[in-house]
Amino acid sequence: MKRSAADIREDLQAHVDFLVEAGAGFVIRRSGDEAGSGAPAAAGAALPPLAARPPQTSEERAALEETDRQVRACTLCVLHKFRTNAVPGEGNPAAELMFIGEGPGRDEDAQGRPFVGRAGQLLRKIIAAMTFREDEVYIANMVKCRPPDNRVPHQEEIEACWPYLIRQIELIRPRVIVTLGRTPTDSFAPGREGMTVRRGKFGDYRGIPVMPTFHPSYLVRNEGNRELKRMVWEDMQKVMALLGRK
Ligand code: URA
């Protein structure tokens, strides 16, 4: 039976109301503006390119450590109230390859390290399959403190944390960035389509190629879906080819 437009509108409204109540502020923003990209998405355009990789100086290494310290002491957004540990990121301070996730979960909050839970174990397997050691890459997140109940970080939380992430990128100057899931992809390779369409195509952040792919926790939640794994592997092979690992 065909449903009336009014019925469909009512259902849709109820769905949106539910998501907003659950803390998904992005639902409102995405409908009206540039694909929900907000300030961070536009930020790269006006900044100097980072594609050239002069060797990292000892001052830059020290600045990266100082950024970690600032993150651990940060109170810029409400998320600091819920944290056990802030999670600045970890890995090689001069990594060629940088992964950016959404934000710490329970395990990460407990340990102060990124991607150490189930999704993290999968990410670390993917990194190994790409022929990288963990200490060769850098792993960071859009927000450095755990959102309560693992909700998606709000735009104002992402914006508060954004300068830390950009500082990390400027100091590390990776040759390639991989964005894991929608939250980092919205800022680094914005678009209106879902991840199924946006994944696998290089974007650009200030001269650094950005490869969006599915978040490992999405793969964990859809464990039996081999097609998802195949797609992530296809995306990672493009990254490997760019870095001469294939
Ligand atoms: N998911 C993320 O996005 N980041 C983490 O550090 C862990 C899980």
Mutation test of ligand 1: which of 90, 108, 137 has the most ligand atoms closer than 8 Å to its C-beta? 108
Q: How far apart are CA 106 and CA 227, in angstroms?
A: 28
Q: How far apart are CA 176 and CA 61, in angstroms?
A: 19
- Global pTM reads 0.83
What is the pLDDT, as a whole number, of residue 24? 41
Which CATH number describes the domain made up of 5-242? 3.40.470.10
Secondary structure tally for the chain: helices H, strands E: 11, 6
Closest atom of ligand 1 to 180 CA is 3
pLDDT tier for residue 211 given thresholds of 50, 70 and 90: very high
Query: What's the whole-number mean pLDDT along residues 116-125?
Result: 98
CA of 142 to the centre of ligand 1 (A): 9
Cα–Cα distances in Å, from 121 out to 92, 134, 246? 18, 11, 23
Between these two residues, 119 and 41, which has the higher pLDDT value? 119
* pLDDT > 90? residue 127: yes
Q: How far apart are CA 173 and CA 97, in angstroms?
A: 9
**From start to end of 67-158, where are the E strands?**
90-91, 97-101, 138-141
